[in-house]
């Protein structure tokens, strides 16, 4: 057994993905897992840490958002660097804008996890086609050049629509794409490279939300949406003072 495999199996207390992430991140940044090497497969990591594939995928997603690794189909996950790169979409944000963003996220954290849960229970074929199409559009060149705010909002609005509760729609619709934090950022403040990494993180989180909804996993959908918006809230809170 190689030194890399001598990991600590994580306990059931706290965030499992965070516990896995911390160990993987420490091994990469210390140089124990060198740049250019490949991480073990998802299955091997599951066995080493004693966790599910979902937990491993969440940890790998955060490694990618930090610029430490990349994952390519047929190749696996490769270490790109051994120093953390920020995945914050802007160099700076005004205090007023930060507070506005956090207040909107506070509201969304109440509304949207429940909407995702209801969508998992109630979506129909039309909803599925819409959600899959919007998700696929998120990382198109056009979307990434515009920081994908409108595509992001369209995906979340489609989830609201999939609740088949007209009052959810009436409440959400007036918010428009200004509900997406990135739409409030000044172009001069955006860090293009970090913003690209951030978009890939958002896309990965949308993937988990979509998979839970389409699997009719109501609790999984609720949790995935809450984690998605909660992570955004925590990240934007770092821009305070």
Please report, for the domain that includes residue 73, its CATH number.
Answer: 1.10.10.10
Q: What pLDDT, on the 0 to 100 scale, is given for residue 149?
A: 76
Confidence of residue 1 (pLDDT cuts 50, 70, 90): very low
Shared domain check, 154 and 59: no
3-state secondary structure of 151: helix
Shared domain check, 102 and 71: no
Shared domain check, 103 and 72: no
Shared domain check, 151 and 194: yes
Residue 86 placed within a domain: no
Dist. CA 236–CA 89, nearest whole Å: 9
Tell me how crowded residue 135 is: count the other CB atoms within 10 A of its CB: 19
Taking only the tens place, the pLDDT of each residue in 18-77 is 788 888 988 998 888 999 999 999 999 999 999 999 889 888 987 887 778 988 888 899
Please report, for the domain that includes residue 192, its CATH number.
Answer: 1.20.120.530
Per-residue pLDDT, averaged over 116-137, amounts to 96
Taking only the tens place, the pLDDT of each residue in 179-236 is 887 777 756 566 666 677 778 778 888 988 999 999 999 999 999 999 999 988 988 8
Q: Is the dihedral of CA 209, 162, 219, 223 positive or negative?
A: positive
Domain around 219: 95-237
Residue 125 placed within a domain: yes
Dist. CA 49–CA 16, nearest whole Å: 9
Shared domain check, 186 and 115: yes
Per-residue pLDDT, averaged over 92-120, amounts to 93
Q: What pLDDT, on the 0 to 100 scale, is given for residue 148?
A: 62
Q: What pLDDT, on the 0 to 100 scale, is given for residue 220?
A: 92
Q: What's the chain's average pLDDT?
A: 84
Residue 88 placed within a domain: no
Dist. CA 110–CA 45, nearest whole Å: 34
Shared domain check, 154 and 202: yes
Dist. CA 109–CA 20, nearest whole Å: 25
Q: What pLDDT, on the 0 to 100 scale, is given for residue 2?
A: 45
Assigned token pair, 166: 């007209």
Shared domain check, 233 and 135: yes
Please say which residue of 55, 79, 103 terminates a domain. Answer: 79
Q: Is the dihedral of CA 38, 59, 103, 96 positive or negative?
A: negative
Question: H or E element: which one contains 78?
Answer: strand 76-79
| Per-residue pLDDT at 4 exceeds 60 | no
Residues of the chain above pLDDT 90, percent: 40
Q: What pLDDT, on the 0 to 100 scale, is given for residue 136?
A: 87
**Which residue from 161, 180, 54 is spatially nearest to 115, judged by alpha carbons?**
161
Cβ-based neighbours of 42, under 8 Å, separated by 6 or more: 53, 56, 57, 60
Confidence of residue 9 (pLDDT cuts 50, 70, 90): confident
Q: Is pTM beyond 0.85 here? A: no
Greater confidence, 146 or 193? 193
Dist. CA 127–CA 49, nearest whole Å: 37
Shared domain check, 136 and 102: yes
Cβ-based neighbours of 231, under 8 Å, separated by 6 or more: 205
Per-residue pLDDT, averaged over 144-152, amounts to 68
Give me the number of domains the chain comprises: 2
Shared domain check, 59 and 108: no
C-alpha separations of 122 from 115, 116, 134, 187, 207 in Å: 10, 10, 18, 39, 19
Phi then psi for 160, rounded to 5 degrees? Answer: -60, -45
Greater confidence, 26 or 10? 26
Shared domain check, 127 and 72: no
């Amino acid at each position: 057994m190689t030194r890399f495999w001598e990991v600590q199996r994580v306990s059931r207390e706290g965030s499992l993905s965070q516990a896995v992430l911390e160990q993987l991140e420490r091994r990469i940044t210390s140089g124990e897992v060198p740049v250019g090497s490949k991480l073990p497969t998802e299955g091997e990591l599951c066995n080493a840490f004693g966790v599910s594939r979902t937990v491993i995928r969440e940890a790998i997603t955060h490694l990618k958002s930090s610029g430490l690794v990349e994952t390519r189909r047929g190749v696996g996950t490769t270490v790109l660097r051994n120093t953390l790169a920020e995945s914050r979409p802007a160099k700076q944000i005004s205090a007023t804008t930060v507070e506005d963003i956090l207040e909107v996220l506070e509201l969304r954290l109440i509304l949207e996890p429940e909407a995702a849960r209801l969508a998992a229970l109630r979506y129909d074929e039309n909803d599925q086609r819409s959600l899959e199409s919007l998700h696929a559009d998120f990382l198109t060149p056009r979307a990434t050049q515009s920081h994908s705010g409108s595509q992001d909002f369209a995906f979340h609005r489609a989830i609201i629509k999939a609740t088949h509760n007209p009052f959810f729609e009436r409440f959400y619709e007036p918010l428009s794409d200004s509900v997406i934090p990135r739409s409030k950022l000044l172009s001069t403040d955006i860090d293009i490279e970090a913003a690209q990494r951030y978009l890939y993180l958002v896309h990965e989180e949308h993937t988990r939300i979509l998979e839970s909804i389409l699997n009719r996993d109501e609790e999984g959908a609720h949790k995935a949406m809450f984690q998605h918006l909660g992570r955004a809230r925590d990240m934007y809170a770092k821009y305070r003072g």
